[in-house]
Amino acid sequence: MNVLALPVLLPLLGGSVLLLVRRSAARRAVATAVSTATLLASLVIALRTFQGTVLSVQMAAWAAPFGITLVADGLAGLLLLASNVLALLTVVFAGSSLQHAPVRGGSALLNRARDAFGAQALLQFLFMGVNMSFLTGDLFNLFVAFEVMLVASYGLLLLGGELPQLREGFKYVVINVVASAVFVITAGMTYGLVGSLNLADIAQRVAAHGPDPRLTVLAALLALVFATKAAVFPLGFWLPNSYPVPPAAISAFFAAVLTKVGVYALVRTFTLMFPGEQLLPAVLLALGGVSMVVGALGAIARRRWRHAMAFANVASIGYLVAGVFIGTHAGMTAALYYLVNSVAVIFVLFLVAGLAERVGGAGYRKHGHLGLYPWLGAGYFAAALALTGLPPTSGFIGKFGLVRALLAAGGGLRVAVATAAVVTGLLLLYAATRIWREFFWGEADAVHRVEIPRVMSGVTVVATVLLLSLAAFAGPLYGLCGTVASQLDGNAAYRAAVLVPDAPPREGAH
Amino acid sequence: MELLLPLLAALLIAAGVFLVLSRALIRLILGVSFISYGVNIAILLAGEGERRDAPPLLQLAGPYNDPLPQALILTAIVISFATTALLLVLALRAYQVTGTDHVQELADRPDPVRPPVVYADPEVPSVSPEIGTDADVDEEERP
């Protein structure tokens, strides 16, 4: 059995088993065990890819352009590891949070109903879709992986059936169904035009064919789809209202990982399949710059915890997309480091927001919580510093790398985006400080302390420690990102690993 | 046939987009289905042409239509079937909760005001409700 298939198969198996388990405690145990096993498999894959090898497996031994390929290079390994660490934390946190009320004034019964109607199983299917998106080497399978991920996320978003869920959920489903329609039509057109759906094979054929406006149209359609999933500025209007709807842990995973899947697909599209495009990366770079500013302004405008954090997520996606499309090795390195940082920061911020909502309700304009919940304040402080990009944190290292790469690459657009990045840092600082002042600072409004369950605070502490360790071990991590970035430059190893020339021919094929 | 199928795909997608832009949930869902029908026909077109000589498992003489796009369509049909079913249930539930299937009325409906809760949970001590609930946030934030 090849280890590459495990991150897809284990959650599938686990999710199916979870549908049959009737006791809540047993479900939590099974889900935790499955996610731990998936994390171990991802760790094995990631450690191997970090040494520079590209792993690949042809399902059922069908040779590359015809069969289904699973492939893991450094980028896939990095994201797989990051998302599965968060998956395990999400499962543990959700197991506890589904036993309690979602926000102050909310009903614990609603969350228990969610638990009983398969929230844990849907989470596993969500992880399956995410892992499959990172591992697949085939455009159509990427579509299928996106659908698995999205259908699970529809379920998680809608479980409970309250009015905000129905309203935001309907928009979310329709946007994603239309985006998926564009995706599948693009996959069909790619097959009609290029004659292959295997990513590495498409790369070979496109490179051999040379520039062609029709290929640019394909790249533009794919960029449209993936930018919608990643919530880049004009296409990301669905995100800020829909991500705060599900329970805390689930929305934390949504915000931290699902948007990054879109960014991952964008990276694959423009480094592997269509590396020759000139205009589209520039457009996406500019849109990344706009996303930063819009996200930061939105985070200032919103008065509710997770709504503000969702906008902060848009800003962080903006940095990420801008970094990916700088087009230099230094830019990609910084973007990859920022990617890991952003996954951790957004996750911690959403967990903190979830706990704050538990103790104070959805809005953050209630003063004086620092005295009652000093450790919650500490967690928020660390994550907010990393979000804004102030020095001792990993956010600073990532943003500094991004701005330096932008200025080094030169050009009016890049300098403008660098300016936007710095201004956004200040705007985010204002947003973060305001939440600090309004929620943690000041004369205490609250009299009674609401107990935060041990498991939930424990997971938040672990996530915060992971975030801080990104800064502590920044040197090796940044070096690793450099290795991954040079692997993405040209993707020779990726193509060599997938398109094995001397694969044994299959019986009956000719 | 050369022109008929592309025109049909274009027509279906155009009708779908028109319906998606309307304000009734049920028409919106029909629009989504129309788009997926158009998409399926468009993928079918990708397999047209004479470039495939034989299916990989058979030793018969060609020419064949490419089987791969048809496999893609099959997958796309299953997925769009599932999402349409989900959307229908969602629209029904929205109608049950709000009594309307109009998009604007659904958006204007204020979120339910939750009473401040005294936790019955043994792990969580009861809280005094003087801080307020989501309701006071909603007043500030309604567009």
Distance from CA of B54 to the nearest CA of A (A): 10
Distance from CA of B8 to the nearest CA of A (A): 15
Strand partners, A90: none
C-alpha to C-alpha distance for A204 and A186, rounded to whole angstroms: 18
pLDDT at res. A506: 46
**Contact call for residues A495 and A207 (beta carbons, < 8 A):** no
Q: Are A140 and B39 in contact (CB < 8 Å)?
A: no
Q: Are B94 and A167 in contact (CB < 8 Å)?
A: yes
**Contact call for residues A241 and A168 (beta carbons, < 8 A):** yes
Angle at A463 between CA A290 and CA A373, to 5 degrees: 95
Of residues B94 and A11, the one with the higher pLDDT is A11
Helix (H, G, I), strand (E, B) or coil at A252: helix
Per-residue pLDDT of A38-74, as tens digits, reads 999 999 999 999 988 888 888 877 777 777 889 999 9
Of A108, A195, A360, nearest to B131 by CB-CB distance is: A360
Strand partners, A71: A56
Q: Which long-range contacts (CB under 8 A, 24 or more apart) does A235-241 make?
A: A236/A291, A236/A314, A236/A317, A238/A171, A238/A172, A238/A175, A239/A310, A239/A313, A239/A314, A240/A298, A240/A302, A240/A307, A240/A310, A240/A311, A240/A314, A241/A168, A241/A171, A241/A307, A241/A310
Confidence check: pLDDT of B107 > 80 = no
Per-residue pLDDT of A352-373, as tens digits, reads 998 888 887 778 887 778 888 8
> How crowded is residue A374: how many other Cβ atoms within 10 Å of its Cβ?
11
pLDDT at res. B135: 45
Q: Are A151 and B116 in contact (CB < 8 Å)?
A: no
Q: How many CB pairs under 8 A join A and B?
A: 165
What backbone phi and psi angles, to 5 degrees, belong to A70?
-110, 135
C-alpha to C-alpha distance for A422 and A322, rounded to whole angstroms: 13
* Residues of chain A neighbouring B83 (CB-CB closer than 8 A): 151, 154, 173, 177
Per-residue pLDDT of A286-305, as tens digits, reads 999 999 999 999 999 988 88
C-alpha to C-alpha distance for A446 and A442, rounded to whole angstroms: 11
Angle at A252 between CA A246 and CA A258, to 5 degrees: 95
User: Least CA distance to B102: which residue of chain A?
Assistant: A167
Per-residue pLDDT of B29-85, as tens digits, reads 999 999 999 999 988 887 665 555 555 566 666 667 777 888 889 989 999 999 999
Confidence check: pLDDT of A95 > 70 = yes
Confidence check: pLDDT of B119 > 60 = no
Confidence check: pLDDT of B126 > 50 = no
Average pLDDT of chain B is 75
pLDDT at res. B53: 58
Confidence check: pLDDT of B1 > 70 = no
Question: Is B22's Cβ below 8 Å from some Cβ in A?
Answer: no
Q: How confident is the model at residue A318 (pLDDT cuts 50, 70, 90)?
A: very high
Of A169, A184, A445, nearest to B131 by CB-CB distance is: A445
> How crowded is residue A410: how many other Cβ atoms within 10 Å of its Cβ?
10
Distance from CA of B61 to the nearest CA of A (A): 13
Interstrand relation of A55-58 and A69-72 (parallel, antiparallel or unpaired) = antiparallel
Average pLDDT of chain A is 88
Q: Are B79 and A166 in contact (CB < 8 Å)?
A: no
Q: Are B90 and A169 in contact (CB < 8 Å)?
A: yes
Of residues A348 and A115, the one with the higher pLDDT is A348
Angle at A460 between CA A455 and CA A466, to 5 degrees: 125
Per-residue pLDDT of A396-410, as tens digits, reads 999 999 999 999 988
pLDDT at res. A337: 94
Lowest mean pLDDT among A256-260, A422-426, A451-455: A451-455
What backbone phi and psi angles, to 5 degrees, belong to A69?
-110, 135
In our burial notation (b when 16+ CB lie closer than 10 A, e otherwise), range B3-24 reads eeeeeebeebbebbeebbeeee
Q: How confident is the model at residue B118 (pLDDT cuts 50, 70, 90)?
A: very low
Strand partners, A363: A304
Distance from CA of A299 to the nearest CA of B (A): 13
User: Least CA distance to A174: which residue of chain B?
Assistant: B32
pLDDT at res. B29: 93
Q: What one-character-per-residue DSSP string does A38-72 give?
A: HHHHHHHHHHHHHTT--EEEEGGG--TTTS-EEEE
Confidence check: pLDDT of B105 > 90 = no
Question: Is B94's Cβ below 8 Å from some Cβ in A?
Answer: yes
User: Can you state the percent helix, strand and coil of chain A, rounding each to 5?
Assistant: 75, 5, 20
Confidence check: pLDDT of A344 > 60 = yes
C-alpha to C-alpha distance for A199 and A190, rounded to whole angstroms: 11
pLDDT at res. B133: 42
State what percent of residues in chain A have pLDDT above 90: 55
B contact test, residue of A110, A142, A154, A163 with most B CBs within 10 A? A163
* Residues of chain B neighbouring A446 (CB-CB closer than 8 A): 131
Could you report the predicted ipTM of this complex, rounded to two decimals?
A: 0.84
C-alpha to C-alpha distance for A115 and A95, rounded to whole angstroms: 8
Residue of A308, A315, A317 whose CA lies nearest to A352: A308
State what percent of residues in chain A have pLDDT above 70: 96
Distance from CA of A127 to the nearest CA of B (A): 18
Distance from CA of A305 to the nearest CA of B (A): 11
Question: Is B113's Cβ below 8 Å from some Cβ in A?
Answer: no
**Contact call for residues B16 and B33 (beta carbons, < 8 A):** yes
Q: How confident is the model at residue A105 (pLDDT cuts 50, 70, 90)?
A: low
How deeply is A148 buried, as exposed, middle or buried, from its count of CB atoms within 10 A (0-12, 13-18, 19+)? buried
Confidence check: pLDDT of B10 > 80 = yes
Lowest mean pLDDT among A18-32, A110-124, A371-385, B127-141: B127-141
pLDDT at res. B141: 47
Highest mean pLDDT pick, A82-86, A169-173, A455-459, A505-509? A82-86
Report cis status (omega within 30 of 0) of the bond before A234.
Answer: no
Q: Are A184 and B121 in contact (CB < 8 Å)?
A: no
Confidence check: pLDDT of B139 > 50 = no
> How crowded is residue A454: how many other Cβ atoms within 10 Å of its Cβ?
10
